């Protein structure tokens, strides 16, 4: 069974209180016991000192006299007083009758007595076999200058136990009170805390209010934060990738623009320097200038298209379109180019081919793919345009009999400025941006694009878009 955070917190504070409370109780008990015992010891020392004086002054000689003196002293001090002769004989004891005194065993070997005779004072705590209880004894010698014996005072330690059990009772009572208060407070605190936690979890998971039913809030919170961290990490990776791509793109674009701009400047300068009057060089330089200006225009137009698609400024209006119309129009536009290169174009479309796309975007896609096919096919080669419905998708293919695209380059040809063969691309007037525009447009319309190889040679570009 898993406990919720509130129960966990309450249980924890309860355990903490019990542990702290028990230790504090044990410590207090120990302190208290020590201090009471010390107090009793001091009391007994004072009584013993007073008793010594009285015994010495009493001039008692018989057991009867000593015992009655012990009885009186015992009564006055509410402690047990024993008077012991130097040879260990008990002369009097406040707790024993005269007969008992006569029969009691020799006390000469009692440790406190030995200690008193040896060092002037003996303090011992032990079980008294005579009166059968735990006692504290303090003994000191009497008689001066000649020592005649010892007086011993004693008190039962039951007094200490009594004080300790009273202390225990107080501790238990206040402990229970503190516990009740703690339960109340921790309940309140955990209620407030889990409220905040739940709010946090909801934020982290973006869940609607009340939908969290986790049994372990902390685990849930940790899970949410892990999820958040993973999401952040993937966002950061994506951002880094985008940043890298952008840098690469800017470097490529500058590189692409530099050549035509350099040619234009150089030619213009040469013309201004007088070449304009040269009948052979003049027109040649001007033609090159015009060619490069045209190239610059093409690159800028493509870059602008891409920038608009990227910034989602190109508003795509997806509607139901009849594919054959668009293919026919694209082929007509490119007819002159095809004728120039003696390329034969075959069109093989499903007559019901209608799909969902933006008219201008579809036109641009078809123009780019068909133009590439015509440009890269060998002179007198062939291009085939087909359409085929596949479930809820319309598959459009443009196939040529050109060199095709090596497998390692098939993904890269859709990248900006990527060319399989730089020289050939420039020769046919390519900007290296056509296919990246196709890809951006197709994807903006929930479509897919790809390229495959054709046997024995050639490329097959395909586009799939939703059918209407």
Shortest CB 292 distance to ligand ADP, Å: 16
Closer residue to ligand ADP (CB): 432 or 447 = 432
Q: Does 10 bind ligand ADP (CB under 6 A)?
A: no
Q: Does 402 bind ligand ADP (CB under 6 A)?
A: yes
Closer residue to ligand ADP (CB): 113 or 369 = 369
Peptide bond into 145 cis (omega under 30): yes
User: Contact with ligand ADP (CB under 6 A): which of 403, 450, 457, 462?
Assistant: 403
* Alpha-carbon gap, residue 404 to 373, rounded angstroms: 10
DSSP state of 298: H
109: its two tokens: 């070997």
Closer residue to ligand ADP (CB): 101 or 373 = 373
Q: Does 321 bind ligand ADP (CB under 6 A)?
A: no
Closer residue to ligand ADP (CB): 80 or 399 = 399
User: Contact with ligand ADP (CB under 6 A): which of 71, 217, 384, 400?
Assistant: 400
**Is residue 371 within 8 Å of 385, Cβ to Cβ?**
no
What x/- string results for residues 365 through 394 when contact with ligand ADP is judged by CB under 6 A?
A: -------xx--x------------------
* Alpha-carbon gap, residue 318 to 384, rounded angstroms: 26
Q: Please tell me whether residue 331 adopts helix, strand or coil conformation.
A: helix
369: its two tokens: 């793919």
- Of 364, 367, 453, 448, the C-alpha closest to 409 is 453
Identify the burial level of 121 via C-beta atoms within 10 angstroms of its C-beta, where 0-12 means exposed, 13-18 middle and 19 or more buried.
Answer: middle
Shortest CB 330 distance to ligand ADP, Å: 15
Closer residue to ligand ADP (CB): 186 or 372 = 372
- Of 84, 80, 106, the C-alpha closest to 94 is 80
Shortest CB 303 distance to ligand ADP, Å: 12
432 phi-psi bin (left φ>0, alpha ψ -120 to 50, beta other): left
* Alpha-carbon gap, residue 11 to 327, rounded angstroms: 76
Closer residue to ligand ADP (CB): 224 or 431 = 431
Please, which of residues 415-434 interact with ligand ADP by CB under 6 A?
Answer: 418-421, 425, 430-434
Contact window for ligand ADP (CB under 6 A) among 75-83, 256-264, 320-328, 396-404: 396-404
Q: Does 449 bind ligand ADP (CB under 6 A)?
A: no
- Of 299, 463, 468, the C-alpha closest to 392 is 468
Task: List beta partners, residue 83.
Answer: 92, 151
Task: Please identify the residue of the shown chain whose CB is closest to the bound ligand ADP.
Answer: 430
Shortest CB 299 distance to ligand ADP, Å: 10
Closer residue to ligand ADP (CB): 175 or 403 = 403
Shortest CB 414 distance to ligand ADP, Å: 7
14: its two tokens: 């309860």
Where on the chain is the footprint of ligand ADP (CB under 6 A)? 372-373, 376, 400, 402-403, 405, 413, 418-421, 425, 430-436, 459
């Amino acid at each position: 069974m898993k406990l919720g955070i509130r129960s966990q917190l309450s249980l924890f504070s309860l355990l903490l209180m019990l542990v702290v409370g028990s230790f504090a109780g044990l410590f207090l008990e120990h302190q208290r016991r020590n201090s009471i015992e010390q107090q009793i010891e001091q009391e007994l020392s004072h009584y013993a000192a007073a008793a010594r004086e009285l015994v010495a002054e009493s001039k008692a000689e018989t057991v009867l006299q000593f015992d009655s003196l012990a009885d009186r002293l015992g009564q006055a001090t509410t402690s047990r007083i024993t008077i012991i002769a130097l040879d260990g004989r008990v002369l009097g004891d406040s707790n024993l009758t005269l007969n008992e005194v006569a029969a009691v065993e020799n006390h000469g070997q009692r440790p406190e007595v030995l200690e008193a005779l040896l060092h002037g004072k003996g303090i011992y705590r032990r079980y008294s076999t005579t009166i059968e209880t735990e006692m504290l004894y303090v003994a000191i010698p009497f008689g001066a200058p000649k020592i005649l014996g010892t007086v011993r005072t004693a008190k039962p330690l039951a007094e200490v136990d009594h004080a300790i059990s009273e202390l225990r009772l107080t501790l238990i009572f206040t402990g229970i009170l503190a516990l009740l208060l703690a339960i109340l407070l921790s309940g309140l605190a955990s209620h407030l805390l889990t409220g905040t936690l739940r709010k946090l979890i909801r934020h982290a998971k973006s869940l609607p209010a009340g939908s969290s039913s986790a049994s372990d809030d902390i685990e849930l919170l940790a899970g949410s934060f892990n999820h958040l961290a993973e999401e952040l990490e993937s966002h950061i990776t994506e951002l880094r990738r985008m940043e890298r791509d952008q840098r690469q793109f800017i470097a490529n674009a500058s590189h692409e623009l530099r050549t035509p701009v350099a040619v234009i400047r150089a030619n213009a300068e040469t013309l201004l320097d007088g070449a304009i009057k040269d009948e052979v060089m003049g027109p040649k330089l001007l033609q090159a200038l015009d060619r490069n200006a045209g190239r610059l225009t093409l690159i800028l137009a493509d870059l602008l298209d891409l920038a608009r698609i990227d910034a989602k400024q190109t508003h795509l209006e997806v509607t139901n379109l009849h594919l054959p119309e668009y293919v026919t129009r694209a082929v007509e536009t490119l007819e002159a180019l095809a004728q120039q290169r003696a390329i034969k174009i075959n069109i093989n479309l499903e007559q019901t081919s209608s799909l969902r796309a933006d008219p201008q975007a579809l036109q641009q896609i078809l123009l780019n793919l068909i133009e590439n096919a015509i440009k890269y096919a060998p002179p007198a080669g062939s291009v085939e345009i087909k359409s085929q419905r596949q479930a809820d998708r319309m598959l459009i293919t443009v196939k040529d009999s050109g060199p095709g695209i090596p497998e390692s380059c098939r993904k890269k040809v859709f990248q900006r400025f990527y060319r399989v063969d730089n020289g050939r691309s420039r020769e046919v007037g390519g900007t290296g941006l056509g296919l990246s525009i196709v890809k951006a447009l197709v994807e903006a319309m929930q479509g897919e694009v790809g390229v495959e190889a054709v046997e024995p040679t050639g490329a097959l570009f395909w586009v799939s878009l939703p059918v209407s």
